[in-house]
Amino acid sequence: MEMYDNKDMFEKTFDENFLPEYLRQAQWAEFVELKKIISEHFQKQGSPVSILDIGVGNGRIIKHLQPIKEIWEMIGNYDAIDNVQACVDVTQYLIETLVIEDTVTVNLLDATRLDSLEKGYDLILST
């Protein structure tokens, strides 16, 4: 059985209380580094950064970046993909809730088909 076939298990994978402390700390360390990288790219190129998030999951990165105005303004577009429809649905709901459809898109797409995007990115994430 696939992990995402079990709705309870699917929900738990997005529950921060379900994650061990060391994983939560690792996610925050990753987030701190990502903010630095976005800022460095923005400063270097002098224009907003384009991002591709492979395996967006529940949109955790989007959820944490969007409230940080000075970082969010450095992002020109944020494209997200996942190969699980439930993840795409959760992230689409987040995008609509945060009203960020002008910056963020999410699509059902397997990472082996990235060439179908026909687009270049400044940063590619896979967390």
CATH number at residue 82: 3.40.50.150
The residue range of the domain holding 89 is: 3-125
pLDDT of 7: 52
Residue 1 is predicted with a pLDDT of 39
| Number of domains forming the structure of the chain | 1
| Tens of each residue's pLDDT in the chain, 127 residues | 354 555 555 555 556 666 678 777 777 788 899 999 999 999 999 999 999 999 999 999 999 999 999 999 999 999 999 999 999 999 999 999 999 999 999 999 999 999 899 889 999 999 7
Q: What is the pLDDT of residue 25?
A: 78
For residue 90 the two structure tokens come to 């959760």
* Residue 70: per-residue pLDDT: 96
Residue 8's pLDDT is what?
54
User: Which pLDDT does position 44 carry in this prediction?
Assistant: 97
